[in-house]
Amino acid sequence: MASRWFRRSRRGVGEDQIAAARAALTATFMDLEDRQSAIDVAVQDVIRLHPDSHLGRSWSAVRETCYSATAAYLEAAADPDAAARNSSERGTLGMIGQAQQMLDGAVSALTGFEEHHRDQLTASAHEAADVRRRIEAATVGVHQVERSIDSTDPAYLRYASVAAAVTDLAAARRVLAEESLNGRLAAAGDAADHLETALTRVREVLAEAPKRMQQAHHAIVTARTRLQALEHRVDTIRPKLSALLREFPAASSEDLVGNEPRAIDEIAVARQLLDSAATAEAQGRPEDALDVTAEARRHLASAEELIDITRDRLDLLRRLRDDPGEQERRVRFQLRDAQRLVVSLELVDQWATVLDAQTARIDRIVAQIASPRPDYLAYSRELDHVSQFLTTTVAKIRASVHDG
């Protein structure tokens, strides 16, 4: 009896050692699994964000070490009763100890990898979290906008701006889904941003759609009022052109001779366009009406310019005839300012000759109006050229001082 009890006691002590060893082995394995999974997620984020990164190759070696240790653990932990029946306690403890050693080595490899790449892993984790947040926000936004589209008046959905925005939204959704499916996290983040832009555009056009009809009507009415005013003003071109020809040399107005028929043509085109815009409005196509009205406005602006330039030319030449020295005095004052600047900056040697030449140039221009029928238009334009030259020269002088 004593010997059987002694043998049973020795066996019990061995089983306790094996149980403790197995418990320690399992604890190490669970720690390894948790850490390996967390690091693997972080590494995959790095790869998805930066496909050219070499981190994946470094991680593969560490991961293989973990796999080998896991295999040893599974073998040592498989069916404890069978292991006890088929091997000695010493052999069982040895197998568990070998597995423990491999697990400890794998944990050490994980620790070294994590410490060496901590900054990159941390940065990528933050970046990946931000990308996923943007994707989630865009996805939520899509659901909200889809509900808005479903509750929108079908007439508004036929507007060009709304239809285009909805089409762009669908395309942006497809791109995000494709990039996400392929695991391209960085590209998915960009796609989420584009999707947000598309969502914003849809919200804007849906909010504006109810106002389009009123906007189109107002635009057409305003343009027609402007057209009517120009129809009356176009008749002023001919008498003003006649006055130019009577009072000044023909060269002063030869570029204006065709203004009246050109203005009439521009008004006629605008009138046809506004009729088309009114038709689009009546058919419930306010955005088309707005586009056509905008084109009509461009033709009205051309007509107005043709009318105004004739009036402005006559006014300019009469002012010059009444006081030709006013523009001359203005340009000479500009020249004196430039000369004072050169003196104050001590750059006389570099720029005095250039500026003095402008004095002679102004004198020659002024001498031209001494004739019985002077060309005031040429006089004014030549003085304008001098003024522009002086402006450019002063800018160069200041730039040379600044660069020096």
DSSP notation for 246-310 = HHS-GGGTGGGTTHHHHHHHHHHHHHHHHHHHHHHHHTT-HHHHHHHHHHHHHHHHHHHHHHHHH
Residue 9 has pLDDT above 50, yes or no: no
Measure the CA–CA gap between 165 and 170, rounded to whole angstroms.
9
Average pLDDT over residues 326-338: 96
Specify the amino acid at residue 175.
V
Tokens of 84: 């006890």
Given this model, what pLDDT does residue 164 score? 94
Q: What is residue 176's predicted lDDT score, i.e. its pLDDT?
A: 93
Q: What residues contact residue 183 under an 8 Å CB cut-off, 6+ apart?
A: 48
Q: Which pLDDT belongs to residue 402? A: 78
Long-range contacts of 362-371 (CB under 8 A, 24+ apart): 362/328, 362/331, 362/332, 362/335, 362/386, 365/328, 366/324, 366/328, 369/324
Mean of pLDDT values over 36-55:
79
CA distance 56 to 64: 12
Tokens of 216: 């189109």
Residue 250 has what pLDDT? Answer: 92
Higher pLDDT: 29 or 308? It is: 308
How many angstroms separate the most distant Cα atoms in the chain?
152
The residue ranges of DSSP E strands in 103-234, in sequence order, are: none
Stretch 350-360: mean pLDDT = 94
Contact call for residues 23 and 99 (beta carbons, < 8 A)? no
Token pair for 12: 């019990």
pLDDT grade for 24, boundaries at 50, 70 and 90: confident
pLDDT at 80 over 70: no
SS3 content of the chain, % helix, strand, coil (to 5): 90, 0, 10
In the chain, pLDDT over 90 holds for what percent of residues? 59
pLDDT given at position 10: 46
Which residue has better confidence, 209 or 126? 209
Give the DSSP letter of residue 236: G
Are 290 and 216 spatial neighbours (Cβ–Cβ below 8 Å)? yes
Question: Residue 81: what pLDDT?
Answer: 53
**What's the pLDDT score for residue 55?**
77
pLDDT in tens, 378-398: 999 999 999 999 999 999 999
Higher pLDDT, 94 or 294: 294
Q: How far is CA 208 from CA 147, 160, 305, in A?
A: 17, 12, 33
**DSSP assignment letter at 370:** G
Look up residue 345 and give its DSSP letter. Answer: T
- Checking if the pLDDT of 88 tops 70, the result is no
Q: Is the per-residue pLDDT at 74 higher than 60?
A: yes
pLDDT over 60 (residue 84): no
**pLDDT in the model for residue 82:** 46
For the chain, give the percent of residues with pLDDT over 70.
93
Mean pLDDT (the chain, rounded): 88
Q: Which pLDDT belongs to residue 79?
A: 54
Q: What is the pLDDT of residue 8?
A: 42
pLDDT tens profile 181-203: 887 888 888 999 999 999 999 99
Indicate the range of 17-31, 136-150, 336-350 predicted with least confidence: 17-31
pLDDT per residue over 310-319, tens digit each?
999 999 999 9
Please give the distance of CA 138 from its chain centroid, rounded to a whole number: 17
Q: What is the pLDDT of residues 109-160, one digit of tens each?
A: 888 888 888 877 878 788 888 888 999 999 999 999 999 999 999 999 999 9
Phi, psi of 87 (to 5 degrees): -150, 165
pLDDT at 247: 93
> Identity (one letter) of the amino acid at 304?
E
Instruction: Please report the pLDDT score of residue 228 as a whole number.
Output: 97
Nearest to 32 by CA among 73, 93, 79: 73
Give the tens place of pLDDT for each residue, 212-260.
Answer: 999 999 999 999 999 999 999 999 999 999 999 999 999 999 999 999 9
d(CA 71, CA 78): 11
Contact assessment for residue 169 and residue 148, using Cβ atoms and an 8 Å cutoff = no
The C-alpha angle with vertex 374 and arms to 373 and 377, in degrees rounded to 5, equals: 130
